Amino acid sequence: MPDPSFVFAQSISGLTAAMFLFLIASGLSLIFGVLRVLNFAHGTFYMLGAYSAYQIVRWLGTGPVSFWIAALGAALAVALLGGIVERFLFQRLYGKEELYQLLFTYALVLILGDVAKIIWGTQQKSISRPPGLTSAVHVLGATIPYYNLFIILLGPAIALGFWFALQRTRAGRFIRAAALDRETLGALGVNVSALYTGVFVLASFLGGLGGALITPMRAIVPGMDTEVIVEAFVVVVIGGLGSFWGTFLGALIYGQVLSFGILFFPRFSIFSIFALMAMVLIIRPWGLLGRPLK
């Protein structure tokens, strides 16, 4: 019978990893839901968010708020980049075949990945946790770092904020409408292309924020983009492509499977993640909370 404090600690680890993934995957899901494109470059925006946060912290020094400014600044910078990319490049590909759009996002991965290497080099970088969140709390015999708690609370907060925005605000309604039927929306006089840009900007903001917030916990290295994008794919597939709460659920499941997977299949926890993804696609392709694509 496993020790309860261990089970608790492990599930907290799983939750923390899940919330990071949720931040990143929610952007991916949003882009897919509205633009019907699977954005490979989303992992790259995550990485750029991390590098930007590192850079801003380098400039500001280690003051009490420099980390928070850096995180916000990085997310905004990445959002801006996303907007530029969408407006000037992506928009020209909308009429074309899906394959071209997909490959374009992959070209972005290649280009932006090297741009990051040129600017920041290839050595790994790291940031310390922000002052104020450096220690931990002891709950049920396990040590839970405050920063992890912050992330665990932030995830659902953003989810709820999002959900509220989607349900109650005008822009939110347009986004949901665009996901269902974009032609009609255009016919009704809504500026669909501006909407698309807005969605892309928002999604990039989330991805960049995820990258910035993960820096105190993980290393900032080249290759973090290709690693995270596969994880994000798994999450949105399990939860449901285009479904917001599906992404949340998918992230939760992913986090716990990885956490406890090392107990039951110590060497095959990676395998179990992809097996889960395959099973969902075989049994219920549109994911646990998704809807069938037209």
How many angstroms separate the Cα of 46 from the Cα of each of 27, 205, 210, 233? 10, 9, 6, 14
- By CB under 8 A, is residue 129 in contact with another protein? yes
Selected range binding another protein among 122-130, 158-166, 187-195, 244-252, rule: CB under 8 A: 122-130
Interacting residues with another protein between 49 and 68 (CB under 8 A): none
Query: Nearer Cβ to another protein, position 174 or 214?
Result: 214
Number of residues that bind another protein (CB under 8 A): 81
Interacting residues with another protein between 180 and 239 (CB under 8 A): 216-219, 221-224, 226-227, 230, 233-234, 237
- By CB under 8 A, is residue 286 in contact with another protein? yes
Which uninterrupted H or E stretch holds 261? Answer: helix 244-264
- By CB under 8 A, is residue 294 in contact with another protein? no
Q: Shortest approach of another protein to residue 267 CB, angstroms?
A: 5
34, 35, 75, 109: which one contacts another protein (CB under 8 A)? 109
- By CB under 8 A, is residue 120 in contact with another protein? no
Selected range binding another protein among 154-162, 168-176, 185-193, 255-263, rule: CB under 8 A: 255-263
Pairing of strands 142-145, 136-139: antiparallel
